[in-house]
């Protein structure tokens, strides 16, 4: 994964160092990722809404090289963001550069079993939610 300026993303306080994926919801409201810490009664909701250009979910065994190539991704912190990545560049190329001028960020969400990557034109709404 090319990323020249990957940085830690801390949208809310008290994020656990290890997150577990509850769900990825992609419906008429947009994309919403729900995660939680181990034995937690609260979950983190990351609501991207309808501003997602693309997302992918990959199991850990398929991202080992990315983890090895990027020291920040090997850290215990689970959330990252960048505005310069091979994923963004690929999307620009696939759109015949239609989205080249749009503001876009690449969000990386590590969880116990893999990684979710989202390219969005708007920052997501992040909040704690109680277990239902």
State the total domains in the chain: 1
Taking every pair of C-alpha atoms in the chain, what is the biggest distance, in angstroms? 45
Q: For residue 2, tell me if it sits in a domain.
A: no
Q: What is the pLDDT along the chain (132 residues), one digit of tens a residue?
A: 555 689 999 999 999 999 999 999 999 999 999 999 998 889 999 999 999 999 999 999 999 988 888 888 988 999 999 999 999 999 999 999 999 988 999 999 999 999 999 999 999 999 999 865
Closest of 52, 55, 31 to residue 108, by C-alpha: 55
Residue 66 — φ and ψ, nearest 5°? -60, -45
Q: Report the C-alpha gap between 18 and 95 in whole angstroms.
A: 35
Q: For residue 1, tell me if it sits in a domain.
A: no
Pairing label, strands 42-49, 30-36: antiparallel
Q: For residue 121, tell me if it sits in a domain.
A: yes
Report the predicted TM-score, pTM, of the whole model to 2 decimal places.
0.93
Q: For residue 80, tell me if it sits in a domain.
A: yes
The predicted pLDDT at position 71 comes to: 87
Q: For residue 60, tell me if it sits in a domain.
A: yes
Q: For residue 86, tell me if it sits in a domain.
A: yes
Domain that holds residue 72: 7-130
The predicted pLDDT at position 51 comes to: 97
Quick check: 38 and 54 in contact, CB under 8 A?
no
């Amino acid at each position: 994964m090319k990323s020249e300026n990957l940085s830690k993303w801390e949208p809310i306080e008290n994020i656990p160092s290890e997150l577990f994926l509850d769900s990825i919801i992609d419906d008429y409201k947009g994309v919403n990722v729900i995660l939680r810490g181990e034995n937690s009664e609260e979950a983190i909701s990351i609501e991207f809404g309808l501003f997602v250009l693309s997302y992918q979910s990959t199991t850990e065994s398929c991202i080992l090289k990315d983890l090895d190539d990027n020291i920040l991704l090997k850290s215990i912190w689970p959330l990252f963001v960048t505005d310069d990545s091979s994923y963004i560049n690929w999307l620009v190329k696939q759109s015949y550069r239609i989205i080249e001028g749009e503001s876009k960020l690449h969000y990386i969400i590590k969880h116990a079993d893999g990684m979710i990557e989202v390219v969005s034109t708007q920052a997501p709404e992040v909040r704690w939610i109680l277990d239902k």
